[in-house]
Amino acid sequence: MGHASEEEPMGWSDAELDSLFAEAEAGLAPSDALMARVLADAAAVQAASVQAGAGQAGAVRAGERPVGREAPPPARSFWTGLAAVFGGGGALAGLGTAALAGLYLGFAQPSALTSLTAGFSSDVSIDSMDLMPGIDALLAEE
């Protein structure tokens, strides 16, 4: 078993693999004693939870939920839903910070920023700047 042949590039034939998998599957089944112990433990836990639920069914205090019932989902406010749309509170905090920084830079125009942008646009006017070039240059055949 395990020798390389020219028909099988990986070195295992289908018959060898089938016998190997059959051998592995034979050892997978749990013993009957193990299954009996697992089922007995499950029955004991189930009986204990039923007894605990029956004892508390009539004595539910205010603010507690009865055993075996799901709690209703909490009501979501408009702002919680809006924050969830944008990815949560952290994403909204980042978005708000970026918006405020943009407003500040737009209205205040710090001198360091204006001197930086003057270097980019001093020799080219906005009218002659081609911000959306066409694709004619790409389609031309050379």
> pLDDT tens across 18-52, in order?
988 888 887 777 888 999 999 999 999 988 888 77
Helices marked H in 67-110 — which ranges? Answer: 78-85, 89-108
> pLDDT tens across 96-131, in order?
999 999 998 888 877 777 776 766 666 656 566 666
91, 85 Cβ separation under 8 angstroms: no
Q: Is 43 exposed, middle or buried (0-12, 13-18, 19+ CB in 10 A)?
A: exposed
> pLDDT tens across 50-94, in order?
877 665 545 555 555 555 567 777 788 888 888 889 898 899 999
Domain borders along the chain are 14-55
Q: In angstroms, rounded to a whole number, what is the distance separating the alpha carbons of residues 88 and 80?
A: 8
